[in-house]
Amino acid sequence: MRSDSRGFFSIDAMFALTLLIVISSSFLNVYEGRKLVANQMILSLEGKSVGERLATALNTVYANRENFEVYVELPENIEGYSYTVTFDNVSRRILVENSVWGALISTVTFTDIENFTLGPENYENDIRVYWDGSQVKVVGT
The string of pLDDT tens digits covering residues 31-70 is 888 998 898 898 889 999 999 999 999 999 999 888 899 9
| Residue 76 within a domain | yes
Dihedral angle of Cα 114, 119, 121, 127, to the nearest 10 degrees: 40
The string of pLDDT tens digits covering residues 68-100 is 999 999 999 998 899 999 999 899 999 999 888
| Residue 2 within a domain | no
Tell which residue, 5, 92, 14, has the closest CA to residue 55: 92
| Residue 4 within a domain | no
Of all residues in the chain, the percent with pLDDT exceeding 70 is 94
d(CA 53, CA 38): 22
| Residue 70 within a domain | yes
How many domains is the chain built from? 1
Question: Going along the chain, which residue ranges are E strands?
Answer: 69-72, 84-88, 93-98, 102-107, 116-118, 127-132, 135-140
| Residue 39 within a domain | yes
